[in-house]
Amino acid sequence: MRKHWMLYLMILPGIVYYLVFKYVPLMGSLIAFQNYQIFKGMLGSAWVGLDNFKFIFMYQDFYNVLRNTATIALFQLLFGFPAPIILALLFNEVRLMFAKRLMQSMFYLPHFLSWVVVGGIVFELLSNKGVVNMVRGWWGYEPILFMQEQAYFRTIVVLSGIWKEVGWGTIIYLAAITGINPNLYEAAVMDGANRWKQTLYITLPTLFPTILVLFLLNIGNFLELGFDQIYNLLTPMTYSVGDIIETYVYRAGVLQGQYSVTTAIGLFQSVIGFTLLWIFNRLARKTEQGLW
């Protein structure tokens, strides 16, 4: 240990960072059990037990926000999660290397744009004067104000999410596909398997562990939809279907100062995420390796 004192010195800044910006806020979650007063601070504020949680469970807004969050999360899982897997399988069938490379770099690009930019693009495309209504016009349809219609909000969230991240998501799967032993395919061809059968019986089963790990990581953050995306797509007209935990916590907590109550909501969200992760990890371990 003495010989490597420098290593211990080097890690100090990192440890300070994790303590200050990760562990202190984690400890700070305890204000969910307090009647937190900004001027008294955490040490001076009164402890109220589970009062804040009782309060949110009696609160109509909370159920509305929770329902929105869970619905969007479910749709994202249902459509957003399989999208990169399917895309990776389709990429795998492309034999022209240059075409594959070119298309891949096109698919990766949106990942690097901010949600403000993507939100701006979505609003412009779907506006009254936007290209979608322009195309609808060619077919003689009346323009629709998509961003202000509650019926379209969740679809727009899921589709814009897929647009932004589907290409990036394929990277992991393509890496796993590259690792498959070519002998397996040759053997399958000998047995008379066509491409479809090869995909079904070799590629997909080999991808399964990767899919499982990513699924578990996903489920752990089930209710965390990402503040940036929703905040940049939401309008007052779509609050009733689009206001999620994170945007609500921002408005009620940061802007209106209801610190304890919104921390309770945040803690509730984390607990749900961890519980789901724990349950699915147990299920996964029955068939394959789980996360732990």
Partner 1 sequence: MKITYGEKLFQIFNYVILAAAAATMLMPLVQLLAVSFSSPIAADSKQVFLLPVEFTTASWVHILQNKGLWTSFGITVYITVAGTLLSMLFSLLTAYPLSRKEFLVRKPIMLGIIITMIFNAPMIPFFLTVRELGLMNSLWSLILPGLIGTFNMIIIRTFFQGIPGELDDSARIDGCSDAGILFRIYLPLSKPVLATVSLFYAVGYWNTFQRAVLFIRDPNKWPLQMKLRAYLTSPEELAAVNLLLGDYAFNTTTLKAATILFATVPILLVYPYLQKYFVKGAMLGSLKE
Interacting positions 158-197 with partner 1 (CB under 8 A): 163, 167-168, 171-172, 175, 189, 194-196
φ and ψ of 34, to 5 deg: -120, 165
Nearest distance in Å: CB 112, partner 1:
5
> Which residue among 70, 77, 228, 272 contacts partner 1 (CB under 8 A)?
228
**Residue 21, interface with partner 1 (CB under 8 A)?**
yes
> Which residue among 62, 277, 280, 284 contacts partner 1 (CB under 8 A)?
277
In sequence order, what are the residues at sequence separation of 6 or more whose Cβ sits closer than 8 angstroms to the Cβ of residue 152?
A: 144, 146
Restricting to residues 122-141, name those near partner 1 by CB under 8 A: 123-125, 127, 129, 131, 133-134, 137
Restricting to residues 91-120, name those near partner 1 by CB under 8 A: 91, 93-95, 99, 102-103, 105-110, 112-117, 119-120
**Residue 275, interface with partner 1 (CB under 8 A)?**
no
**Residue 7, interface with partner 1 (CB under 8 A)?**
yes
Nearest distance in Å: CB 177, partner 1:
12
**Residue 269, interface with partner 1 (CB under 8 A)?**
yes
**Dihedral of alpha carbons 164, 165, 167, 168, sign:** positive
Nearest distance in Å: CB 166, partner 1:
8
**Residue 10, interface with partner 1 (CB under 8 A)?**
yes
